[in-house]
């Protein structure tokens, strides 16, 4: 009897399992925006010797967490992010939250050990001001191990430092779209479009001058772009127009499709031209936390604690069409462009989504900054969340270079 029952149920169980597996594998990729534990990331991480996911976890308030490595006196600060100097409220609490990954340990960077590992090697960041925010945190932390650190701006770098004790350079190359772009004023005769003042020509297949010729210099490269791809930076009077081989792409591409074509071309260039043994990362979007309106509509971020996990989708899921939806929307396209490459994902989005409490907000160090620019709910206070980004990046670099 049991055997008979078993044999009649068994085929249906197998069938149902197959159906389930099929649905699971087809539907799951559609939800890759939501979480860092999604399959593509696991796939990329497999190449790391320790295959744990540092990007998924939660923040724990821990008042015995060691103090940040640096304070307001670090010479590499940018004034608007120097929240201690600008007397931002809550800096003690902001830096008492600790990121605890779910299935593995995140070590705090040991600047002496790390610079020792990097001796005679260089690290480059390429992208927008969020990369610069990341860099400043990195420089201020590394300086602890070499107080002789000097500002370094060669080879087209926007900001950087040289650590003479270890012969290590860490620098940022500003290339907000990654691709080359230039302003072209309207030619007087062509005036068929309302209010058009000119265009920005984006050469989708050409890296910006700021980084095209320096990739040989770096042993580790960290790319990003994303925060400039909006109609606030490029309104319809001064739009981006996408070109290939010096001719406008036809039919013209919208902003997001143009972005995707640029991603694909930049990724292709990196794969082809950057030396094979250079360790390459692509940092996913840093989320913004404007509450109650956009940056130019009095949007604010005066929070005194991180968001709860249950709030994240409400804030960031594109289907809710909120002010801060673009990070996940762009991540989806970036992940697609990176699939099958040896560029490692640095998925700092999810952990940063929690930290509505950690932006400079109204503490910008200048009297009229808020009325002119609005609150800063985009960049991060330093010391602050980017210090955790540094810990994660450094652990991944150790995993890759430490075994040589």
Ligand X SMILES: *[C@@H]1O[C@H](CO)[C@@H](O)[C@H](O)[C@H]1NC(C)=O
Binding residues vs ligand X (CB under 6 A): 60, 62, 64-65, 120, 122, 167, 297-298
Asked if residues 59 and 70 have their Cβ atoms less than 8 Å apart, the reply is: no
Asked if residues 129 and 380 have their Cβ atoms less than 8 Å apart, the reply is: no
Q: What is the DSSP letter of 306?
A: P
What's the closest the beta carbon of residue 119 comes to ligand X, in angstroms? 8
Nearer CB in complex with ligand X: 167/191: 167
What's the closest the beta carbon of residue 356 comes to ligand X, in angstroms? 20
Nearer CB in complex with ligand X: 26/120: 120
Nearer CB in complex with ligand X: 239/374: 374
What's the closest the beta carbon of residue 377 comes to ligand X, in angstroms? 15
What's the closest the beta carbon of residue 27 comes to ligand X, in angstroms? 36
What's the closest the beta carbon of residue 98 comes to ligand X, in angstroms? 7
Whole-angstrom Cα distance, residue 374 to residue 82?
A: 17
Phi, psi (5° rounding) for residue 122?
A: -135, 150
Nearer CB in complex with ligand X: 108/113: 108
Provide CB contacts within 8 A for 301, sequence distance 6+: 289, 290, 291, 356, 357, 359, 361, 375, 377
Nearer CB in complex with ligand X: 105/151: 105
Provide CB contacts within 8 A for 375, sequence distance 6+: 290, 295, 299, 300, 301, 302, 359, 360, 361, 362
Asked if residues 316 and 324 have their Cβ atoms less than 8 Å apart, the reply is: yes
Asked if residues 284 and 333 have their Cβ atoms less than 8 Å apart, the reply is: no
CA 50 to chain centre: 22
**Nearest to residue 157, comparing CAs of 169, 148, 145, 168?**
169
What's the closest the beta carbon of residue 168 comes to ligand X, in angstroms? 8
Nearer CB in complex with ligand X: 89/294: 294
What's the closest the beta carbon of residue 294 comes to ligand X, in angstroms? 9
Asked if residues 163 and 202 have their Cβ atoms less than 8 Å apart, the reply is: no
Nearer CB in complex with ligand X: 106/338: 106
Instruction: Give Cα separations from 263 to 126, 191, 257, 286 (angstroms).
Output: 13, 32, 10, 17
Nearer CB in complex with ligand X: 265/375: 375
What's the closest the beta carbon of residue 189 comes to ligand X, in angstroms? 38
Provide CB contacts within 8 A for 367, sequence distance 6+: none
Q: Which two tokens stand for residue 289?
A: 């936390």
């Amino acid at each position: 009897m049991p055997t008979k029952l078993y044999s009649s149920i068994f085929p249906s169980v197998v069938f149902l399992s197959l159906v389930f597996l099929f649905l699971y594998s087809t539907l799951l990729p559609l939800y890759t925006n939501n979480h860092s534990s999604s399959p593509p990331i696991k796939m990329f991480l497999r190449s790391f010797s320790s295959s744990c996911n540092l990007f998924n976890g939660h923040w724990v308030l821990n008042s015995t967490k060691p103090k940040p490595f640096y304070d307001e006196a670090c010479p590499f600060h940018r004034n608007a992010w120097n929240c201690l100097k600008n007397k931002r409220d809550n800096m003690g609490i902001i830096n008492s939250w600790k990121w605890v990954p779910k299935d593995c340990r995140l070590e705090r960077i040991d600047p002496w050990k790390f610079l020792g590992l990097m001796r005679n090697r260089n690290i480059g960041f390429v992208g927008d001001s969020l990369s610069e925010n990341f860099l400043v945190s990195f420089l201020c932390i590394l300086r602890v191990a070499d107080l002789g650190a000097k500002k370094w701006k060669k080879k087209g770098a926007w900001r950087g430092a040289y650590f003479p004790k270890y012969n290590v350079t860490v620098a940022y190359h500003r290339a907000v779209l990654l691709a080359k772009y230039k302003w072209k004023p309207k030619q007087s005769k062509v005036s068929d479009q309302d209010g058009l003042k000119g265009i920005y020509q984006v050469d989708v297949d050409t890296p910006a001058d700021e980084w095209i010729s320096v990739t040989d210099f770096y042993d580790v490269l960290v790319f990003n772009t994303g925060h400039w791809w909006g109609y606030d930076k490029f309104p319809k009077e001064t739009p981006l127009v996408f070109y290939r081989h010096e001719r406008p792409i036809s039919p013209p591409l919208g902003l997001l499709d143009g972005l995707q074509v640029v991603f694909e071309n930049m990724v292709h260039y990196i794969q082809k031209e950057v030396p094979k043994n250079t360790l390459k990362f692509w940092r996913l979007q840093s989320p913004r936390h404007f509450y109650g309106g956009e940056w130019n509509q009095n949007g604010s971020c005066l929070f005194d604690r991180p968001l709860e996990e249950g709030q994240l989708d409400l804030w960031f899921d594109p289907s809710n069409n909120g002010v801060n939806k673009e990070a996940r929307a762009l991540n989806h396209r970036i992940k697609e462009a990176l699939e099958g490459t040896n560029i490692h994902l640095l998925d700092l989005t999810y952990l940063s989504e929690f930290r509505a409490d950690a932006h400079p907000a109204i503490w910008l160090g200048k009297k009229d900054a808020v009325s002119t620019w609005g609150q800063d709910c985009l960049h991060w206070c330093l010391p602050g969340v980017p210090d955790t980004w540094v810990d994660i990046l450094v652990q991944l670099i150790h995993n890759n270079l430490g075994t040589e």
